[in-house]
Amino acid sequence: MNHVRADVPDAEAPPASSSPRGKIIVLGLFAAAVFVFFYFDLKQYVSLEALKANRDLLLAFTEAHYTSAVLIYILIYCLQTAFSLPGATIFTLAGGFLFGAVLGTVYVNIAATAGATLAFLAARYLLRDWVERKVGNRLASIQEGFAKNAFSYLLTLRLIPLFPFFLVNLVSGLTRIAVGTFMAATAIGIIPASFVFANAGRQLGSINSLSEIASPRVLGSFALLGVLALVPIVYRKLKRQKDAP
């Protein structure tokens, strides 16, 4: 008889087999969202030029209908993240411009964390069973190791912007990391970058390219934060080696 290991708190038992029809529906929604985005060339509306061109209109709407603007902003940003579409940086700049650095960061965090969780769950629902059937035995030790240190590992991936946000969402769904751990590490890990870009959004008129914001110095700071997040893991490994007979 198989038992779920009690010494891996973040691990989740494999989900029960899902309905093929449900998977087709979820996959169809993702395919439809990507098709609509690129077929109707919606990418032109999530560019720095478009944001700067419509800044007065967006600001006027936000000042006249603040609550509606916040809800619409969070919903659109959440959907963009859930469907792994381009434009996250522009949305974050817009959040800072429309709502200020602090509140903009809060709204970005809510939207991005919710959207990332939906993408994570979709990847888990659609692909994890298949991956575990194909290569489950070879990944068992990796899965267990990741589950034990899931929060620190994921926090590092979030803090270092070299790893694409959408890719981390999808790959994490293939692991046994708990949903709560994924959400917590994501919500905390995206705060620094969200604040940097939201704060930059306050000076929208003076920004000519996104590279002006993501300078080597800023990226280096994020990388340092990511390394610090791994310190607890390294410490535990060294301590186990020292205590081993």
The pLDDT tens digits of the residues spanning 13-36 come to 444 456 788 889 999 999 999 999
What stretch of H or E contains 36?
helix 20-39
What does the pLDDT read at residue 127? Answer: 82
Supply angle C-alpha 16, 121, 112, rounded to 5.
165
Cα 174 to Cα 124: distance, rounded to the nearest angstrom: 5
Q: Which domain holds residue 63?
A: 20-243
Residue 66 counted as domain residue: yes
Sequence-distant (6+) residues with CB within 8 A of 75 are 111
CA–CA separation, 154 vs 51, rounded Å?
A: 31
Residue in the block written with tokens 């936000």:
62
Contacts (Cβ under 8 Å, ≥6 apart) of 140: none
The helix, strand and coil proportions of the chain, stated in percent and rounded to the nearest 5, come to 80, 0, 20
In a domain, 185, yes or no: yes
Q: How long a stretch of residues is the chain?
A: 245
Share of the chain above pLDDT 70, in %: 70
* The pLDDT of residue 3: 46
Give pTM, 2 decimals: 0.78
Among the listed ranges 8-17, 65-74, 126-135, which one has the minimum average pLDDT value?
A: 8-17
Domain count of the fold of the chain: 1
Q: What is the mean pLDDT of residues 198-219?
A: 71
- Give the Cα separation of 174 and 91 in Å (integer): 27
Q: What is d(CA 68, CA 74) in angstroms, rounded to the nearest whole number?
A: 10
Mean pLDDT of 39-46: 91
| pLDDT band (50, 70, 90) for residue 176 | confident
pLDDT of residue 16: 45
What pLDDT is attached to residue 240? 60
- Region of poorest pLDDT, from 105-109, 172-176, 178-182, 231-235: 231-235
Task: Indicate if the pLDDT at residue 221 is higher than 80.
Answer: no
